[in-house]
Structure 1
């Protein structure tokens, strides 16, 4: 479902936003800000410390690799980069993580693809400059024998405002209370998330200035909005970013990632298999068994999931179409999340067949093209005639 996201802030900015000091950022050296994130990449998440239970930032790889993964087996980060919230309380892979390994994934926004015929148009969806998503993490043994932290993003049914685009979406923690409940610990008082889960723009810009570098300043990119560009049509909810419950739902693909990964269920082994909590990485898991986020009771966990993992019903989600090149993980830079309508007109004109576009060219250009073709054909005919003489 959520096969791409945007996370382009500097480490200093994350520290200022969350209120968590930089000295409580674990594995920070593996983090690199990106405008186009995908499974297998290192991203920062908030989790509870195994030492004192206080929130800390931990850089982890996106795409859950369970603790019972055998070191000699190939790691597939696309297999469980999403976890369906409807089944995480029953799935052997995920249910063992709910009591003590919940985390918050901070992203600027996420990309989703709308399929229309043979065309797939990506959209960038965001809620203000930054939003918090529910996640789960685990620890396995990496190829080098060291502990490897990986995480998955929980997903739920899409809200009515996004049904036209996709039937699934990340679990967005709608307010600060939901964030603290899911994390199992209070956030620092200096965290700039407000009670309603939004972020004050001026406070956010002050934080991003601490992470600005060279020509990819996050503070410049965060000014992008989904306001319609000149020439956009009001009838298309994908371009105006407003609710249209009468629009038929379109189930989109996520850049082929979903098909390659075999879906987002992440069911893994069934009961009795290696997914039981009694197996894992031994001493490393014992070390991580420190203060656990509440709640630990099974019924309490189910109640927490039912409360937190709902489709986001807020009206502040915005979206706009972006370059199809975002489907490639090698595509980087601010252009990944820029509104293509500003330079390419409406979505309908963006997808016009090439032949139709050629027909709309000025008559003078078409005439010039035909004249050049005739000249080349005459030169070819003349050359053939010369070679045919005895």
Structure 2
């Protein structure tokens, strides 16, 4: 995610921008901070406010005893998220968009692995969930998880799973907390094969496997 926050504000029609948004990073691992778009349910009859916030990647539900819970909850399977105690409340009322310029995926050939970068011409958005967790010092931690689904199209030859990408046309419904969560999830999953067809992919250097590598050269195509 390297697109400036100011561009995300325009692209996702943000009303308010939170503090602590992360710097550009071309190689973000779980537990790091990522930008997310949320639209909480208003407490009165006022219109919803769409916010761009900084969140820890790895969902920590309100009932968690420790922040380490999020280490195993950075992804949520779309097929079971509405049933799992970790994610089901968020599916119903705390759905987010996780903006990204693209993502990396590894293709395995025996013991060998090849890295690919999947992207579009503009930032895409993953279907995400979010939660607030009260930390021991009394402050609140915002965290997020990215939903995944079965791969489709050319990507299916690289890996069996992929992030669930939300089309621009579906973003409003996905964020709307008044929409039925399971229905919204089913709708985004149903269109995933068509959404993935618009994306491009190319091989990149294996250095993306090292989280200390964070520069823009990581998304450069590997020379033939």
TM-score, structure 1 normalization: 0.53
User: SS of the counterpart of 1:139?
Assistant: strand
Equivalent of residue 48 in structure 1, options 19, 39, 50: 39
User: SS of the counterpart of 2:20?
Assistant: helix
Deviation at 1:97, TM superposition (A): 1.3
Change (3 A) 1:74 1:88: closer
Q: Does 1:100 align with 2:93?
A: yes
Change (3 A) 1:62 1:74: closer
Equivalent of residue 321 in structure 1, options 175, 187, 203: 203
User: SS of the counterpart of 1:78?
Assistant: helix
- Contact kept? 1:64, 1:77, Cα under 8 Å: yes
Deviation at 1:38, TM superposition (A): 1.4
Partner of 1:65: 60
User: Per-residue displacement from partner, 1:6-26 (whole Å, max 9, x unpaired)?
Assistant: x012222222322325xx112
- 1:256-267 superposed matches below 5 A: none
Change (3 A) 1:55 1:74: closer
By percentage of residues, which structure has more strand? 2
Equivalent of residue 155 in structure 1, options 148, 151, 161: 148
Q: Does 1:87 align with 2:92?
A: no
Deviation at 1:168, TM superposition (A): 0.6
TM-score, structure 2 normalization: 0.90
What is the aligned residue count? 218
Tell me how far apart the structure 2 counterparts of residues 163 and 16 of structure 1 sit (CA, whole Å).
32
Tell me how far apart the structure 2 counterparts of residues 149 and 54 of structure 1 sit (CA, whole Å).
17
Deviation at 1:76, TM superposition (A): 4.7
Partner of 1:182: 174
- Contact kept? 1:105, 1:153, Cα under 8 Å: yes
- 1:355-366 superposed matches below 5 A: none
Name which structure has the greater RCO, CA cutoff 8 Å, separation 6+. Answer: 1
Tell me how far apart the structure 2 counterparts of residues 336 and 76 of structure 1 sit (CA, whole Å).
30
Structure of greater Rg: 1
- Contact kept? 1:105, 1:135, Cα under 8 Å: yes
User: Per-residue displacement from partner, 1:349-384 (whole Å, max 9, x unpaired)?
Assistant: xxxxxxxxxxxxxxxxxxxxxxxxxxxxxxxxxxxx
- 1:160-309 superposed matches below 5 A: 160-176=153-169, 178-184=170-176, 293-295=177-179, 300-309=180-189
- Contact kept? 1:25, 1:59, Cα under 8 Å: no
Tell me how far apart the structure 2 counterparts of residues 149 and 142 of structure 1 sit (CA, whole Å).
10
- Contact kept? 1:128, 1:316, Cα under 8 Å: no
Deviation at 1:56, TM superposition (A): 1.0
Tell me how far apart the structure 2 counterparts of residues 323 and 76 of structure 1 sit (CA, whole Å).
32
Deviation at 1:143, TM superposition (A): 4.9
User: SS of the counterpart of 2:121?
Assistant: coil
- Contact kept? 2:150, 2:162, Cα under 8 Å: yes
Equivalent of residue 29 in structure 1, options 5, 20, 28: 20
Deviation at 1:30, TM superposition (A): 4.5
User: SS of the counterpart of 1:37?
Assistant: coil
Structure 1 segments of 4+ aligned residues over 4 angstroms from their partners: none
User: SS of the counterpart of 1:39?
Assistant: coil
Q: Does 1:9 align with 2:3?
A: yes
User: Per-residue displacement from partner, 1:45-92 (whole Å, max 9, x unpaired)?
Assistant: 11014555221111101111111111xx35154301110010012112
Partner of 1:139: 132
User: SS of the counterpart of 1:312?
Assistant: helix
Q: Does 1:110 align with 2:106?
A: no
User: SS of the counterpart of 1:123?
Assistant: strand
Deviation at 1:318, TM superposition (A): 0.7
**Where in structure 1 are there 5+ consecutive unaligned residues?**
1-6, 185-292, 346-390
